[in-house]
Amino acid sequence: MDKKVLLDSHKRISPYIHNTPVLTSRLINKIVGAEVYFKTENFQRAGAFKIRGATNAILQLSDEQRAKGVVTHSSGNFAQAVSLAAESLGVTAHIVMPESAPKVKKNGVLEYGGIIHECESTLEARQATADRIAKETGAVFLHPSNDMDVIIGQGTATMELLAEQPDLNMLFCPIGGGGLIAGSALAAKYFGGNCKVIAGEPFEADDAYRSMLSGKIEGNETVNTIADGLKTNLGDKNFPIIKELVSKIVRVKEDEIIAAMKLVWERMKIIIEPSSAVAVAALIHESRRDSDFFSGKKIGVIISGGNVDLGQLPF
Query: 116: which strand partners?
Result: 95
- For the beta sheet containing 298-303, the strands, ordered from the edge strand earlier in sequence to the opposite edge, are 22-23, 35-40, 298-303, 170-174, 196-202, 246-252
Write out pLDDT tens, residues 36-58: 999 999 999 999 999 999 999 99
CA-to-CA distance for 34 and 29, rounded, in angstroms?
5
Average pLDDT over residues 240-259: 98
Task: Name the average pLDDT for the chain.
Answer: 95
Write out pLDDT tens, residues 7-46: 999 999 999 999 999 999 999 999 999 999 999 999 999 9
Catalytic residues, which ones? 50, 75
Q: What percent of the chain has pLDDT over 70?
A: 100
The whole-number pLDDT of residue 229 equals 86
- pLDDT-based confidence at residue 5 (cuts at 50, 70, 90): very high
CA-to-CA distance for 204 and 142, rounded, in angstroms?
27
For 82, residues 6+ apart whose C-beta sits below 8 A from its C-beta are 50, 54, 58, 70, 72, 74, 93, 95, 114, 142
- Is 90 exceeded by the pLDDT of residue 311? no
- pLDDT-based confidence at residue 72 (cuts at 50, 70, 90): very high
Report whether 142 contacts 58 (CB < 8 A).
Answer: yes
Report whether 52 contacts 77 (CB < 8 A).
Answer: no
Average pLDDT over residues 134-162: 97
The whole-number pLDDT of residue 98 equals 86
Report whether 108 contacts 75 (CB < 8 A).
Answer: no
Write out pLDDT tens, residues 131-145: 999 999 999 999 999
Average pLDDT over residues 176-184: 97
The whole-number pLDDT of residue 108 equals 87
